[in-house]
Structures are given as structure tokens and as C-alpha cells.
Amino acid sequence: MIDGETVLDRWWRLAPWSGNPLMRRSDRIESMMVLIVVAVVLMLVPVAGAVGTATHTRLTEQAQQAAANGQQVPAVLLENPRPPMGEEPTRGPTGQDQVRARWVVDGTEHTGIVDTGTGAWAGQTVTVWVDKDGNYMAAPNTATDNALGAIGAALGFLMLGTVGCGLFLIGFHWLLAKHHRSQWQREWQGLGHAPGWSVN
């Protein structure tokens, strides 16, 4: 490395517009491809922001619609969520314990499996969400849930895009290296030598 040379100096010498006469045409193509991939990754940032915004809007609308179509009612737990003898409780998709409960809507009694929090017990009254027919429904997402979902969607999109660009660049470099090896082999054969150095 030349004294006083920085990383930026080395990158500049490897740029496609470099005047270095030893730089091959394929090297210029590869460095140009690196610049294009970097530009694409930078462009993915605002696109990921738009994906996150759209996801947040969609989740908020779904939560508002669910809240408008449902209501909260008191329900009595009919059994202990945590069974005795160290047995594992029944868990729902949300990871919460599930237990059978009873509630009344417009004079009609309903029973069903509901999500419960830690520390619940049989006979306890909890609040559950039900639809217009009185059937149990999952609670609408909160603002925090919607925000976390939007952030996850944005980061997931950005990560997938970045990984895809990285894999494309690795594949492109592999193809160029393979092309270089084939080219060197043809040149050696053209000179009447087998690939490698002579041991004589």
C-alpha cells in the first residue's frame, strides 16, 4: 500500500473511470456494477419507508374496522388456564393461554375458547371482544401493534432487497472470475503451453 493512501483513494483507483492502464475492461464493468448495486440499495430505503407506511395504513384500517364491527363484553372463565400437575396450557396463535369461557350478548348466552392473560383462574371475569353475532373474536390491533408491524414490513423489505443485491453481485463476480480463468487457459494454449508454470 502506498504511504498516505486511504481506503477512498484505493476505491477511486478501482472506479470505472480510472485512468490506470493495467485495469482490465472486465474490472471496469465489475466496478460499474458495484456502483449500480450501491445506488439500488440506497433507492430501496425510501421504497422500504413507503412499504412501511402502506402497511401501517392497512393495519390501522383493519383495526378500526374490527373495532367498529365488534364490542367488548364481560366473560366468566369456566376453568383454570393453567392445568395442575405441571401440564402445559393450551395456547393460541397469539401465544396467550386459552380457556373456555361464558358470556352473554343481548340476552343470549355464548361459550367458547378465549385468550387469557397470565394469572387468570376459573370463575374470574375478564373482558373479551365479540362480533355482532356474539361470537368471540380476536382483539383489534393496538397502535403499538400496527407500528411494530409496519416497522417489521419495512425492515424485511429492505433486508430482502439488500441480500438480493448482494447475491447478485457475488454471482456476477463469480462469472467474471470464471471468464478470466477460461481466457487465461486459452492464452496459455495459444502459446503452446499447458496452464501453469514450467518446472524445467
Condensed to tens digits (0 to 9), the pLDDT of residues 128-178 reads 999 989 999 988 999 999 999 999 999 999 999 999 999 998 888 888 778
Neighbours of 114 (CB within 10 A): 27
β-sheet bridge partners, residue 103: 75, 110
pTM of the model: 0.65
pLDDT in tens, 34-60: 888 889 999 999 999 999 999 999 999
Relative to beta strand 70-77, strand 136-137 is: unpaired
Q: Identify the DSSP state of 47.
A: H
Q: Is the pLDDT of residue 8 over 70?
A: no
Q: Which residue has the cell 483507483?
A: 13
Q: Identify the DSSP state of 134.
A: S
Cα distances (Å, whole numbers) of residue 106 to 67, 69, 73, 84, 93: 18, 15, 11, 35, 29
Break the chain into its structural domains and give their ranges. Answer: 23-60+145-184, 70-142
Three cell numbers written together for 123? 370463575
Cα(32)–Cα(41) distance, integer angstroms: 14
